[in-house]
């Protein structure tokens, strides 16, 4: 028995009447059922983002409209659907969201219908803030940090100093908004908030991987920076250390709710001596007295720190690659199932193969020599045209003349 409310059914029916398949699917993905949006509806909406004839603003507006609902379930599922399309849909969807001045205005949202409504409203406000920040980040840098190319030749590793110092704070803001979701394992009590948490978990891995690579690039450039740049860089690194602690706590929640340990990356802390070396270098640039440190010891400290952070980055990348492989295998299995279903449907269809009496036989590719039925030549007997039906009793008057006219002629030339 479907858990859809009467309102859900009426709304879907209205869109069926108007002929809007996209709006109807949005309604079906954001019903009052306390469960995450169904995969078939999400897959259809992803497909829509890849179709050039689909109006992306209309799709987005349909989702925004659902967030005006008073039910926490509908609003939460609207945010989850939007997040899913931002991650897995065509890039033009997130491009459109980034072009808007405002997205979700849910900072005061509160469902007073029950105790669960009060609890979930808190997470809806936090979740909407993260999605807003994700769109703002895209607007500022023109790419999605969770999808950016990584590695030694990746975007964050090859960025110049000036751009790097402007870009890392943008990642930090997005990471802060994500970690501010701040959910405990005992608060993940239903399928709706669980679906949101899984999307946030996957974003956290990819986002922190990009963040980590930006910090590696920063450290490699730090000792060649100007004084003002070093000051900015040191502040960025200190904030990174606090966020590393917070992301570690976030990943512990993921482990507590049953996410496979192999899907959770390992965090390697940089040596504490690195922070001291960075502070001393800035102090020396400011003309303060600092204890002497050789270039060799400084290089060794930096090398150890970069190696440690690179190990963390590798761990995050492996988890991401594992998830991509799992998604690929799932898609292949789905396509195989569809193919098998299609073959079964075709095998159940009635056969239209021709019989041996057909002039053209499909068996063996040969032409049958069976006699054909001529529907246009009247059958003749003893040179006379035999009329099977004579409603006006005219056969007797016409028969003599036709006999005389056809005498001596072969039956085939009667016409």
pLDDT digits (tens, 9 = 90+) for 177-229: 999 999 999 999 999 999 999 999 999 999 999 999 999 999 999 999 999 99
User: Which run of H or E residues covers position 381?
Assistant: strand 380-381
Query: Does pLDDT of 82 surpass 70?
Result: yes
Which of 88, 115, 144 delimits the end of a domain? 144
Do 107 and 169 lie in one domain? The reply is: no
The mean per-residue pLDDT over the stretch 2-6 comes to 60
Tokens of 281: 């270098």
Residue 101 lies in a domain: yes
Identify the domain containing residue 109 by its residue range: 1-144
Tell me, what's the pLDDT at 92? 96
pLDDT value, residue 3: 60
Assigned token pair, 193: 């908030």
d(CA 415, CA 193): 84
- Does residue 401 fall inside a structural domain? no
- One domain for residues 140 and 153: no
Residues with Cβ within 8 Å of 353's Cβ and at least 6 positions away in sequence, in order, are 362, 363
Residue 310 placed within a domain: yes
pLDDT the model gives residue 286: 86
> At 315, which CATH number?
1.20.58.150
236 lies in the same domain as 313: yes
Instruction: State the angle between helix axes of 21-29 and 6-18 in degrees (0 to 180), rounded to the nearest 10.
Output: 170
Choose the final residue of a domain: 103, 129, 144: 144
Q: Is residue 380 part of a domain?
A: no
Give the model's pLDDT for residue 246.
Answer: 94
Contacts by residues 408-412 (CB-CB < 8 Å, ≥ 24 positions apart): 409/383, 411/380, 411/383, 412/377
Whether 160 and 48 map to the same domain: the answer is no
Q: 250 versus 11: which is more confidently predicted? A: 250
Residue 394 clears pLDDT 80, i.e. is over it: no
What pLDDT shows up at residue 269?
Answer: 77
For residue 50, being part of any structural domain is answered with: yes
Q: Is the pLDDT of residue 412 over 50?
A: no
CA 247, CA 167: separation in Å to the nearest integer?
20
Task: Determine the Cα–Cα distance for residues 69 and 76; give it in Å rounded to an integer.
Answer: 10
Last residue of a domain, one of 289, 317, 336: 336
Q: Determine the Cα–Cα distance for residues 361 and 363; give it in Å rounded to an integer.
A: 5
304 and 194 housed in the same domain: yes
The answer, yes or no, to whether residue 19 has pLDDT greater than 90, is: no
What is the reported pLDDT for 334?
63
Q: Are residues 24 and 159 in the same domain?
A: no
Distance between CA 44 and CA 40 in Å, rounded? 6
Q: How many domains does the chain have?
A: 2
* Beta carbons of 169 and 131 less than 8 angstroms apart: no
Q: Is residue 60 part of a domain?
A: yes
In a domain, residue 183? The reply is yes
Q: Is the pTM of this model over 0.85?
A: no
Read off the pLDDT of each residue in 244-272 and give the average, rounded to a whole number: 88
- pLDDT-derived band at 324, boundaries 50, 70, 90: low
Kindly report which listed range (158-167, 192-201, 307-316) carries the lowest average pLDDT score.
Answer: 307-316
Are residues 164 and 129 part of one domain? no
Would you place residue 287 in the very low, low, confident or very high pLDDT band (cuts 50, 70, 90)?
A: confident
Domain match, 183 and 91 both: no
**110 and 165 housed in the same domain:** no
Cα–Cα distance measured from residue 48 to residue 72, given in angstroms and rounded to the nearest whole number: 26
Whether residues 276 and 168 share a domain: the answer is yes
Q: Is pLDDT of 51 > 80?
A: yes
**Per-residue pLDDT averaged across 328-341, rounded?**
71
Are 128 and 181 within one domain?
no
Q: Both 238 and 253 in a single domain?
A: yes
Q: Is 334 helix (H, G, I), strand (E, B) or coil?
A: helix
**Residue 368 near residue 353 (C-beta atoms within 8 A):** no
CATH code, 128: 1.25.40.90
Question: Quick count: other Cβ atoms within 10 Å of Cβ 235?
Answer: 12
| 405 domain residue, yes or no | no
Sign, CA torsion 205/208/210/213: negative
């Amino acid at each position: 028995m479907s858990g859809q409310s009467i309102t859900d059914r009426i709304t879907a029916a209205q869109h069926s009447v108007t002929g809007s398949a996209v709006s109807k699917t949005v309604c079906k993905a954001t019903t009052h059922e306390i469960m995450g949006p169904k995969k078939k509806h999400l897959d259809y909406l992803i497909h829509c983002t890849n179709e050039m004839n689909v109006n992306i603003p209309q799709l987005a507006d349909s989702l925004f409209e659902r967030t005006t609902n008073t039910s926490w379930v509908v609003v939460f599922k609207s945010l989850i659907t939007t997040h899913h399309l931002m991650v897995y849909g065509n890039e033009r969807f997130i491009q459109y969201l980034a072009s808007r001045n405002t997205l979700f205005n849910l900072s005061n949202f509160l469902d007073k219908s029950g105790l669960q409504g009060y609890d979930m409203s808190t997470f809806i406000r936090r979740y909407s803030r993260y999605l807003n920040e994700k769109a703002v980040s895209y607007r500022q840098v023109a790419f999605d940090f969770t999808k950016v190319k990584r590695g030694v030749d990746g975007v964050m590793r090859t960025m110049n100093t000036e751009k790097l110092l402007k870009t890392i704070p943008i990642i930090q803001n997005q990471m802060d908004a994500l970690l501010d979701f701040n959910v405990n394992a005992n608060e993940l009590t239903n399928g709706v908030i669980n679906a949101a948490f899984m999307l946030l978990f996957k974003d956290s891995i990819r986002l922190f991987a990009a963040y980590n690579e930006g910090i590696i690039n920063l450290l490699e450039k730090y000792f060649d920076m100007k004084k003002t740049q070093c000051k900015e860089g040191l502040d960025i690194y200190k904030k990174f250390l606090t966020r590393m602690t917070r992301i570690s706590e976030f990943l512990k929640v993921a482990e507590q709710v049953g996410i496979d340990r192999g899907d959770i990356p390992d965090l390697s802390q940089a040596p504490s001596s690195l922070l001291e070396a960075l502070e001393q270098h800035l102090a020396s640039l400011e003309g303060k007295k600092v204890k002497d440190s050789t270039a060799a010891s400084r290089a060794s400290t930096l090398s150890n720190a970069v190696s440690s952070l690179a190990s963390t980055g590798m761990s995050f990348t492996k988890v991401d690659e594992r998830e991509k492989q799992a998604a690929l295998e799932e898609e292949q299995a789905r396509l195989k199932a569809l193919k098998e279903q299609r073959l079964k449907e075709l095998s159940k269809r009635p056969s239209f193969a021709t019989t041996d009496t057909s002039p053209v036989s499909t068996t063996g590719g040969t032409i049958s020599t069976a006699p054909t039925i001529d529907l246009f030549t009247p059958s003749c007997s003893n040179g006379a045209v035999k009329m099977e039906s004579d409603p006006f009793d005219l056969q007797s008057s016409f028969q003599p003349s036709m006999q005389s006219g056809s005498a001596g002629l072969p039956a085939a030339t009667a016409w």
